[in-house]
Amino acid sequence: MRWKTAELTGWGRVLSGTAELARPEKPAALSAILTDTPAPAIGAQRSYGDAAVNSDGRAIDMTRLDRFISFDMDTGILHAEAGCSITDMLDTFAPKGWMPAVMPGTGFATLGGCIAHDVHGKNHHKAGTFGQHVLEIELAGADGRTATVTPDSDPALFKATIGGLGQTGAILSAKIRMIPCSSRLIQVDERRAANLAEFMEMLKASNATYCVGWIDGTANGRSLGRGILEEAELTSSNMAPKLRKPRKVPFNAPKFALSPPTVRLFNRMYFNRIPKQGRGVLRSLKDFFFPLDKIHDWNKLYGKRGFHQFQCVLPDETAERTLRDMLRLIADAGLASPLAVLKRTGPGRAGPLSFPMEGFTLALDFPNSENARALVTQLNTLTADAGGRIYFAKDSLATAAQAHKMYPELADWQNTVEAADPQGVFKTDLVRRLKLRTPA
């Protein structure tokens, strides 16, 4: 196998590292690599920080192992290679009446990546995380041996692999249970929320299958926490969705593109676009689930400096107070970009390192700068103090102590991982930075 010296970069383009990268196209080539030189497997490199970075080490790019192995039309059970993208699953199986039960915010994410981060979607409060729909995982361990892991065959290893950041081995393929999808269109109802208290009430009261809120990170005072609630249900319409060609950001955008006045103006227009009485629209599944995938390389909008995404989840007991503190800090700093999400989360999680907990999750992007780093550091501290968690798929600034505090099941996970990978061949920059494999 030839190795290529490659720059591995998180989607936020702040953390990066040089690694020797292999990209096998056949299972036999992959198995030869894993036997001789086991290394962390990476997918579409859509995590924001350093989860898919292994500085001065090796990594295996799984994106060419992207075939569907079997699909059962009656049960919706799909067996696929780890490099399959969520978009590919949606495109191929939605016309046949099935779609992934949980879809993250980008369809470019791979099956392996969705398992390794136990991703959630706009239906978390109802459907739980991606990992809760995984039936079995074909895992190649540090010794090069391949095993099929199910919740029955090895419950600890199965759980440690879901949300396990690739530390138990390379995910080669997996079986997932998909859900019926009656059409390729979705009915979306949009309503304004005037402030944080109203927004949280609306989110709590919503019984929609898919529910997500856009939040204005620049609003302050009486409008603090205002936003737009989107509730959506699959329709039975048999209209074909409009196909739109994706556009590409060709170069790094200049700084003024996301300067505070631009963002404030944009956010005001974005908020006012929804009539006071609300409105209903019909969207294609892809437009609704992956709104940013239409703009390829949208991370370049933040310019060369890159950006940080902060995402936390807060338990119900502390959520309102903490969110208020956070949003005040954010609005006062004036650093937020328009991309900001407030969402209700349910209790669903599939592994000890899974992110969600019952409560609320807030996610915001900040163009990288010293002030932004200081702000995110403050937000991380508020999260830890409130008994919440930050999301490893997004993080670039948390500390090891915070990570250990936020994930109380870490010790159990470590036991399973040390047994599976005693030499630490699957360690990544993220794992080293947050000392995830170091006992407290």
Partner 1 sequence: MSQTWIILGAGSAMGRAFARKAATQGAHLVLAARDQDDLARTAADSLARGAASAAAVLFDVRKPESFAPIYDAAKANDGIINAAVFVGSMAPQADVDADPNTGDLTIQDSFTGPVNFLHGLAPIMEDRKGGTVLGIGSVAGDRGRIGNYTYGAAKAGFHTYLSGLRNRLNRSGGHVVTVKPGFVDTAMTWGIEGMFLVASPEQIADDLWTAHEKRKNTLYTPFFWRYIMAIIKAIPEPIFKKLSV
Which residue ranges make up the site for partner 1 (CB under 8 A)? Answer: 2-5, 23-29, 64, 67-71, 81, 92
**Cα separation of 118 and 391, whole Å?**
10
In the complex, least distance from residue 120 CB atom to partner 1, rounded to whole angstroms = 26
Q: Computed from CA positions of residues 113, 59, 63, 68, in that sequence, does the dihedral angle turn out positive or negative?
A: negative
- Reading the block at residue 144, the tokens are 């090069």
**Which of 58, 45, 52 lies closest to 1, judged by CA?**
58
In the complex, least distance from residue 79 CB atom to partner 1, rounded to whole angstroms = 9
In the complex, least distance from residue 114 CB atom to partner 1, rounded to whole angstroms = 18
In the complex, least distance from residue 172 CB atom to partner 1, rounded to whole angstroms = 11
**Which of 46, 47, 79, 40 lies closest to 61, judged by CA?**
40
Residue 79 or 432: the one with the smaller Cβ distance to partner 1 is 79
Residue 241 or 315: the one with the smaller Cβ distance to partner 1 is 241
Residue type, 29: A
Please state, as a whole number, how many other Cβ atoms lie within 10 Å of the Cβ of residue 176: 24
Residue 63 or 267: the one with the smaller Cβ distance to partner 1 is 63
Residue 25 or 385: the one with the smaller Cβ distance to partner 1 is 25
Residue 1 or 440: the one with the smaller Cβ distance to partner 1 is 1
Residue 70 or 236: the one with the smaller Cβ distance to partner 1 is 70
In the complex, least distance from residue 5 CB atom to partner 1, rounded to whole angstroms = 8
Residue 72 or 332: the one with the smaller Cβ distance to partner 1 is 72
Find out whether 267 and 228 touch, Cβ atoms under 8 Å: no
In the complex, least distance from residue 145 CB atom to partner 1, rounded to whole angstroms = 17
Residue 81 or 230: the one with the smaller Cβ distance to partner 1 is 81
In the complex, least distance from residue 28 CB atom to partner 1, rounded to whole angstroms = 6
In the complex, least distance from residue 426 CB atom to partner 1, rounded to whole angstroms = 22
